[in-house]
Amino acid sequence: MDGSISSSKDHSLQFSLAFQSKTVSIYDILETLKVCSGEPIPRVEYLPEEIETWRYIFDHLTKLFPTHACREFNNSFALLVNNCGYNRDNIPQLEDVSKFLHEQTGFRLRPVAGLLSPREFLAGLAFRVFHSTQYIRHASKPAYTPEPDVCHELIGHVPMLADPTVAQLCQDIGLASLGASEDDIKRLSTCFWFTIEFGLCREDSAVKAYGAGLLSSFGELQMSMRDYKQINSSLRQLQLKLPVTFLNFQYALSDKPRLQPFEPEVTAIEPYIITEYQSTYFVAESFEKARQQFR
C-alpha cells in the first residue's frame, strides 16, 4: 500500500527468468485491461513451480490456523475451501473468489499490477472494492513477502473480508479516507496496517491473529504469539489468570515484539516496517469494539 516502496515489477528482476517472465506477463495484462463493473477478472494459468510454492505455504499455514487464527477466520476459510477451490493443489482464481465474497459481504476483488498509493487503496475500501494482486511470491522466500502476493490476498485477506464486522471496519476506514488530508491518510493507513494487516484479537482467554500479514506468513504467525503462549502457560502453572489489561509487555529478548491494546489514537502514530517482521502488535478486544473505537 505504500507508494514509496519499489514496485514488485522491479523487485521481480532478481528472481528466476521463469518467475520474472510470468510476473511481467501479468503486469502486461493488467496495464492494458480496464476492469469495469461486471467484467470478468482475467484468469491466470500458474506455472507448476508457482503451484508448488502455493502448496508449501498452504500446508504450513493450515497447520497453524486451528490454534493461531481467530474463530471468524477459520469459519470463513472453511467456506472458501468448500466453495472456491481453496486447496493445496490449486491457486484460486480472483473471479471465482470475488463472486463468493460479494455474496457474503458485498466486497469485490479488483486486480491490480502492484502497490497502490495509500489514498487509492483506501478509497477502494470505501466502495467495498479490494485491490488484489495475482502473482505469487518467489519460492526462495516462502515464509514472508514485504509486498502483497496472491497468498497474502487470498489466504490472508479474503477470509476476513467475508466476515461482516471486519468488512464493515474496512469500509469505515475507507470512508474516513475520502477527502482526508495527507496527514489523516497516513494515520488511517497506519491503523489499517496494525489491524487488517497485522492485527491480533482476544478470543476467550487467548490471543489470536486476524491480520492478513500474519495469516499469510507462517514464519511471523508463529513468532507473533510464541512468547505470549509461553507467558500465559507459566501463569497458569502458578494458578494466576492473565488479566485483560496485561497486554503491554516486552518479549523476553530485545528482538521480540510487544503486544499493546488497540487504541486508534495510539495505533495511528506507531511507526511500522514492511521489510521484516513487526516489532509491535495491537490487540483488539473484539471486532465490534474496534469499530466503535475507530468511530
16 phi-psi bin (left φ>0, alpha ψ -120 to 50, beta other) = beta
Q: CA of 290: how far to CAs of 76, 150, 177, 202, 263, in Å?
A: 20, 27, 17, 11, 8
Which is catalytic among the residues 131, 157, 177, 189? 157
Residue 216 is a catalytic residue:
yes
Q: Determine contact, residues 136/162, Cβ cutoff 8 Å.
A: no
C-alpha cell, 84: 472456491
Q: 63-90 burial, b for 16+ CB within 10 Å, e for fewer?
A: ebbeebbbebbeebbeebeeebebeeee
C-alpha cell, 42: 482475467
Which is catalytic among the residues 72, 147, 197, 220? 197
Residue 197 is a catalytic residue:
yes
Which is catalytic among the residues 98, 132, 152, 217? 152
Q: Which of 168, 163, 203 is nearest to 76 (CA)?
A: 163
For the chain, what is the radius of gyration of the CA atoms? Answer: 19
CA distance 209 to 73: 9
Q: Is 157 annotated as a binding residue?
A: yes
Residue 102 is a catalytic residue:
no
124 Cβ contact partners less than 8 Å away, ≥ 6 residues apart: 110, 116, 130, 131, 174
CA distance 285 to 94: 32
Residue 157 is a catalytic residue:
yes
Q: Determine contact, residues 94/41, Cβ cutoff 8 Å.
A: yes
Which is catalytic among the residues 98, 189, 216, 217? 216
Q: Which residues belong to the annotated binding site for Fe cation?
A: 152, 157, 197
Residues marked active site are found at 152, 157, 197, 216
Q: Which residues belong to the annotated binding site?
A: 152, 157, 197
